[in-house]
Structure 1
């Protein structure tokens, strides 16, 4: 690769198409309203519908849209910060507009943009409706505003001397500077000045990330033969911009998930106790050798993180303790011996999981004594296999979450179905709390999920995806797990409701 091209490639990565004004405008939606229509506002935020989104995209070349649900507590917490960000950007005359869409009330838009959880934020540039950028930044006002400033303004500058370089480093918590000996005349963070190479101890082209935490800086040397690999550089920047140890809270959760590190090691402590706080030093000491492989996270059990505890099947009294989760497989791991938390035990635990020596565990509640006394039978992880795969029974199971609005809405129909078939000895209507019980046979990702396990050998499983009313559910059962051909087509899947925490450890938003 020509060395003259290296700064260009770095520029493309760093700017991430930060100048939206030169992009080709996307296709217009046939549902766009005429320009004279006025879009309503609340607290400085545009309130959009499927009829006005096209108009907003035409009038606002940089548009951040929040898809929210009125019942979502994370959306409620975000609302004041979102309004503050809008006010800050308006005061600065920044050419960006904030808007919001009620996802459940606008299902067409939620489906069009693949919204499955709330809140979801998407950034539209220059009217391009087809390829919005996913918002992965902070959830507080200044963080939102800064994320947007970086996308609508110049993101870097040419450095001519030590003063300019130091000013750039001092001005932000995270600064990336490309040191190139053959720099092109571009206005981004790069330099070709020998004295700067000397000052920062460099002899070859290098991308340097400066930060005000941990080791202070991280270097990414450019391979003299292969040149600059953008994928490797991107991973380097993401990995080294994270702290070695991150405390989990509402401000850090989005960044933790955006790190793209699949393994998360959690240290659960009660930070009101001095003995627990003393463990943090050892936790941080063990972290560097696993950088890029395992993300180290501290969870304070005394700071309102019950949903994280619930996800791992823990009580606050279990702290201090360690858990590791892989975000791709959602498998969870616990130390085998459950001994003290030390640098040695942390290191051994991580190596054991990464090498496949530590086996994952599955959550399960205890089997209730009266699990089969009601029309709707109660299943948990410990009795699921023997009931669902009983070859003499046709078993229909609802997998639900206690917080799920859609699950609550269909509960009366499910109860009525169970009462209707309670005298059929070969039919079992059951339910399982999928937030407190995990299954080896399959994972449950959306709620409610309905699965039918027909009698007979072969461990067959049929997923039900049609209307959730008593009449249709009954027809499905009566026809042996299929609906009559004259039934209407399946209804679109409703957007996933918001949990008390979002995805892994409750959700991507929570960790």
Structure 2
């Protein structure tokens, strides 16, 4: 099976899981998130910029030569739309040179896979609120990214080919503790595995669960998938632990599949002594 068609087919499957969902985005302003009501953080020198990016799970920086251009006001408005994204802005020549900026550019940085995506002068000329919002929505991959019809696009555009899904109901009493441990484990596999949360309580996610041949009674569960060859494995868990997630991921990366061991045991013929 060719890798590219397999990748596209799986992306198409995940995307169609959400086609029936009517998306309603209600944006609420708050001063508690990384970006506050005053707008993006002003970056004035290279050390400040480096420190800012190192502290942010996902950061979007506007590198502008002129703050009077129309896109700047659109950029500033993003701060209140994305409370889990850090926003910075700079006109400092030394910072622009450090990040190889030659024209007005909006860059999205993410720690999870050390990626940087740019909207350069030709891209941002005439850009509107909707297009910039969608760019950030699609590409904002966190240590743990919650799966939906928008983030699915960003996940499969990442160069990281292995994805680990936690299939769990967010309404469960164990969720908060589990997601904290899952997020901690995610940082051990930076650049190797993308960690994804699939809320089993969402109706549109039932198809994702069935894709991995899991039943509701087997949840919560871990499901790992490699996009290039569609290799996958699953593990039902009573509770999520960092060690358990780490061992499951290490085994998959080493080519050891739990389901193969299970199948081998089932297929081993009985020998009469």
Q: More helix by proportion, 1 or 2?
A: 2
Q: TM-score, normalised by structure 1?
A: 0.29
If the length of structure 2 is used for normalisation, what is the TM-score? Answer: 0.50
Query: Which has the bigger relative contact order, CA under 8 A and spacing at least 6?
Result: 2
State which structure, 1 or 2, has the greater radius of gyration over its C-alpha atoms: 1
